[in-house]
Amino acid sequence: MEEQTCHDNKVARLEDIRACCGFHCSQCPAYIGNIRSEEDRNRVSEAWKKIYGLDIPVEAIKCDGCLKPDSENPHRIGGACEMRTCVQSRNIPHCGFCDEFPCDLIECHLTSVETVAPGCRNTLAPDEFKDFIEPYLCREYLERSNQ
């Protein structure tokens, strides 16, 4: 299997593409490879509004991922990401390679997701939880919450 890279202005598509923060881009419902129709965009926009309170226009629901170089003018949801900037400044593949991991920045990022997850188990259908919550949770959290 090929490695993820953005050194030659190309991001290799993998079965499991990780963002700078460690989230699963390839499992994210807004990731460009997962958006196949206007219906997909509507579903993501509605779910993220319901779950996270985000009001992202349907036409903005597509993301090339943070590994794609800025020089290619990628689509990214949420604009500039502090974690991406930090990872790039340290010249490391993702936060897990950092000597300061876990830092306040990543802890805040993970806490926001893990805060909504327990309530979503009761309010979302299982397929919605799998599609809109699980891609952003670490394995350890999923194991703890299933016990």
Summarize pLDDT for 15-57 with one digit per residue, the tens: 677 788 877 788 888 888 888 899 999 999 998 888 888 888 9
For residue 122, CA distances in Å to 3, 118, 146 come to: 37, 8, 13
pTM of the model: 0.68
Q: pLDDT tens across 86-127, in order?
A: 999 999 888 888 898 888 888 777 666 667 777 887 888 888
